[in-house]
Structure 1
């Protein structure tokens, strides 16, 4: 392990455990990877492994394991074992007190093991996750978890207990994640599994479970000792469903057929045209003014369109296929009752367009739209009088900026640009688009059947946002007239800015912060230097005077809008190539 890291010994041991977990294909690999990345990035030198608990991903159990490893290392190399920071602090206080009357030190309060309340949300979730194999790398989706957990919980996982409250039993998942009882992984479809500490909780529940003939929880065919009376009392009572490991399925039977194929191919599911209706969805930030927030909704209602208003991860307006049967998607292991259609609108007023070009949002939004995989992107530009003298140089500059932005959006990005006179004209356009899409996908429409076919891409068959884009490209090539879509929740996860970003995503966003680095240029730089570390090392290997032209010279084979000029190369070097 490189000595450049603050804690090479601890980092090396975590790396060993990570490699072992990967060889066993154990779910613990995700836990160790999180701990490894935190330790690797930490600049602080720890005198004792217990101090590492302040890092994300290193809990008490892992730190205890590191402590045991350090003890063995010190004994083997005849080195003194570092003193625990709590003990050293208490001894220091004792020496500072000098002649003060000695008092017996308080025994540190032992942290009580986590005990979920009988038939509570955490209790049911742990039971459901414990149906997985402990050494498996599998996880359960939210929909699968709710189906398995609901019979063992008195509260609903989908509806609040009271109309005045918003929390459901699912809200307890946040507590389990914070306590590191459960961890989540996977994108776009998030899955959940028990951590090592979570399995300890599940095993404690198993030990104190009374025999099945007494009417309480029983795991498998074994009945453990009665154990802690407090825990036993908390799990007492009659009527609790008996859980049998051998009979409980790991994954619901109706979803087993939709797991990723071994060859990486994706099998879309054809959606019957009479099973859904086309629904307009508005972003909740699309308002006329702060005092008139319902104007768009009310005017659309007058035109026969009832929009749904919610927070959208991407775009300002989109259309979804909303199923008549809310449980239609659940038979395929999917969440919700909506499928994203291939149309999205980014609405800009002229003043907002100019502002977004100044602060860089314009290019970032177009880049995210490109990464979304949506085929029909509509850039709707709403006329708005810019408050300036029309004959002034500033007005001429603004007009030139807008004209350039529109041309770039049409020619470079290939998006359809729609210009409207005002907000009312925009509302009229959205209403017409909604009615047009309804006719396109209606089973009674007179168009050819192939022109209005909708197929669902199962979320379980997608491993990443890149696999989603690759799958879309392949399927559209095979059948250009079919609309291939994912569920609304999956689309939101794929396009979320706040979701877990890959290193590639972060690197691209960092590059695009430099004025002049467009999405296309950032992609080319990332292909040449895959990570920020590789990019910085490339600069460090050169003399300072040669760094300015490094990017432009090494990427001189690029042409058109991907080409990086020497002026831009110098800007990039000023940010990434400066020493220190």
Structure 2
């Protein structure tokens, strides 16, 4: 990805008027042409919606028999139909913005049926299945971050046909209040359920476990029990130490603890809440290989984003340090950085038996720490409730993730946004840690926005220093001129990188 200074030609998806859209859903990538009058120098996202803003109060001629060029016609009371109609009312409202956020869209739908909670995953950033289908069919456009959803011209035409097919009056919509007309039929709760049913972080009924209703169980990753060597011995040691454990596939970490319901309605699937502690175990030989291949830095970055506040890095000795592929000083520096800079608690053990004893000690400690406390669930991705903490408080109330939400949210290869892919790309550059990549992405959320900033620089020297003053990490230090120069060479140079 190479760029000349001063705004030379580039790939269409990085054009100035597409900058707000990032590299995935810009109009150019969809094969659409923007009117020159709607392209502003500031790159406003309204440049796309303004192509059809002139039709905002004009009724599109109805063609009930023709259901769009693709023949798509969402079923009555389906999630897709609900979304199209709600966006249509917002589009016709003279005081509206022609777009809705996900939370606003769900609230509008919930107002049509009192039985539906207004809290169906409003904080989740990924489109739910119905909206994903509309985005794929180019009926709905997504812009900005947080996401804003609006109708495309094709979606506008289809939405009006849907409204007319339900016998809704369109003549008075523009002069009424922001709420849809009273004669619009109520939308059933089933349609709302379709919107968020398969979404990670869907708001489930509140789970609450009283002090005598749960037990603390250690979850061991399956990777710790398979393969050659001493891995099966770990389970034998835990059994010998009378540790209550289960073996599961964990998408992040090697050990976590859950509060498991003791009297579940479904004995095969008891409710579980993840306690605020996670352990990553590394033998010295594995630590060496992970540092060499880059897994070490990536795993620490993912652990810091897993939602649990207390992260333990368990380093287990294995053989002589002189037989390892890295010198002992390098390993010591890596471990020290993990504790001092990354904020992990580092525990070093002599062998597997000592590691098992430490896990048993942690299990006993957590049992004492959480006893006599009421635990309740919170949706994945949400902050701790103001009245509680992730650890026991005098209330006593602890707000924790369910095990299903925690493990699903930590999947490594799930669908990623442009922002996340951009951060991963930056981390491939030597010297760019997770914190530094996050700081750059906070300022420039997509490659397009960064390239636009480079374009605005008057000289190559200004390009080199563009990122140097970005504040990074807990100490808020500058990114620095060296890394800023390296990144400018990556994104602005035609010549081979040296």
Q: TM-score, normalised by structure 1?
A: 0.50
Matched, 1:319 2:257: yes
Say if 1:532 and 1:287 are closer, same or farther in 2 by CA, change over 3 A: same
Q: Which residue of 1 aligns with 2:155?
A: none
| Aligned 8 A contact 1:338 1:487 in 2 | yes
Q: Pick from 294, 318, 323: which aligns with 2:232?
A: 294
Q: Pick from 494, 497, 505: which aligns with 2:412?
A: 497
> What is the deviation of 1:345?
0.2
SS in structure 2 opposite 1:285? Answer: helix
> What is the deviation of 1:280?
1.0
> What is the deviation of 1:285?
1.2
Distance (Å, rounded) in 2 between the aligned partners of 1:573 and 1:327: 59
Q: Which residue of 2 aligns with 1:486?
A: 401
Q: Which runs of 5+ in 1 are unaligned?
A: 13-32, 46-110, 114-125, 140-183, 198-244, 254-265, 330-334, 443-448
Q: Which residue of 2 aligns with 1:310?
A: 248
Say if 1:522 and 1:189 are closer, same or farther in 2 by CA, change over 3 A: closer
Say if 1:281 and 1:268 are closer, same or farther in 2 by CA, change over 3 A: same
Q: Which residue of 2 aligns with 1:437?
A: 366
Q: Pick from 400, 407, 411: which aligns with 2:329?
A: 400
| Aligned 8 A contact 1:312 1:492 in 2 | yes
| Aligned 8 A contact 2:77 2:188 in 1 | no
Distance (Å, rounded) in 2 between the aligned partners of 1:486 and 1:431: 23
| Aligned 8 A contact 1:345 1:377 in 2 | yes
> What is the deviation of 1:311?
1.8
Aligned CA RMSD, in angstroms, stands at 4.9
Q: Pick from 401, 405, 421: which aligns with 2:350?
A: 421
Distance (Å, rounded) in 1 between the aligned partners of 2:240 and 2:124: 40
Distance (Å, rounded) in 1 between the aligned partners of 2:232 and 2:392: 40
Q: Which residue of 2 aligns with 1:274?
A: 212
| Aligned 8 A contact 1:315 1:344 in 2 | yes
> What is the deviation of 1:480?
4.7
Distance (Å, rounded) in 2 between the aligned partners of 1:133 and 1:520: 39
| Aligned 8 A contact 1:297 1:306 in 2 | no
How many residues end up aligned between the 2 structures? 352
Q: Which residue of 2 aligns with 1:511?
A: 426
Q: Pick from 376, 380, 384: which aligns with 1:455?
A: 376
Please give the residue correspondences for 1:116-515 in structure 2 after superposition, counting only pairs within 5 Å.
Answer: 134-136=81-83, 187=124, 192-193=129-130, 249-250=189-190, 270-287=208-225, 289-290=227-228, 294-327=232-265, 337-385=271-319, 388=322, 398-442=327-371, 449=372, 452-457=373-378, 459=379, 465=381, 468=382, 470-471=383-384, 475-476=388-389, 480=393, 482-515=397-430
Distance (Å, rounded) in 1 between the aligned partners of 2:123 and 2:216: 29
SS in structure 1 opposite 2:82? Answer: coil
Q: Pick from 461, 464, 467: which aligns with 1:551?
A: 467
> What is the deviation of 1:487?
0.8
Q: Which residue of 2 aligns with 1:58?
A: none
Q: Deviations over 1:326-356 (max 9, x none)?
A: 4489xxxxx9721111110011112222332
Structure of greater relative contact order (alpha carbons < 8 Å, 6+ residues apart): 2
| Aligned 8 A contact 1:381 1:417 in 2 | yes
> What is the deviation of 1:38?
8.1
| Aligned 8 A contact 1:286 1:316 in 2 | yes
> What is the deviation of 1:574?
2.7
SS in structure 2 opposite 1:550? Answer: coil
Distance (Å, rounded) in 2 between the aligned partners of 1:559 and 1:435: 32
Distance (Å, rounded) in 2 between the aligned partners of 1:297 and 1:505: 37
SS in structure 2 opposite 1:419? Answer: strand
Q: Which residue of 2 aligns with 1:569?
A: 484
Q: Deviations over 1:29-51 (max 9, x none)?
A: xxxx9xx8287436899xxxxxx
Say if 1:338 and 1:41 are closer, same or farther in 2 by CA, change over 3 A: farther
Q: Which residue of 2 aligns with 1:100?
A: none
Distance (Å, rounded) in 2 between the aligned partners of 1:399 and 1:250: 60
Say if 1:133 and 1:327 are closer, same or farther in 2 by CA, change over 3 A: farther
| Aligned 8 A contact 2:218 2:256 in 1 | yes
SS in structure 2 opposite 1:134? Answer: helix
Say if 1:360 and 1:576 are closer, same or farther in 2 by CA, change over 3 A: farther
Say if 1:360 and 1:557 are closer, same or farther in 2 by CA, change over 3 A: closer
SS in structure 2 opposite 1:455? Answer: strand
Distance (Å, rounded) in 1 between the aligned partners of 2:207 and 2:404: 17
If you compute each CA radius of gyration, which structure gives the higher value, 1 or 2? 1
Q: Deviations over 1:385-420 (max 9, x none)?
A: 356469xxx86xx22222222222222222211111
Say if 1:351 and 1:561 are closer, same or farther in 2 by CA, change over 3 A: farther
| Aligned 8 A contact 2:218 2:244 in 1 | yes
> What is the deviation of 1:248?
7.3
Q: Which residue of 2 aligns with 1:41?
A: 29
Q: Deviations over 1:11-40 (max 9, x none)?
A: x9xxxxxxxxxxxxxxxxxxxx9xx82874
SS in structure 2 opposite 1:135? Answer: helix
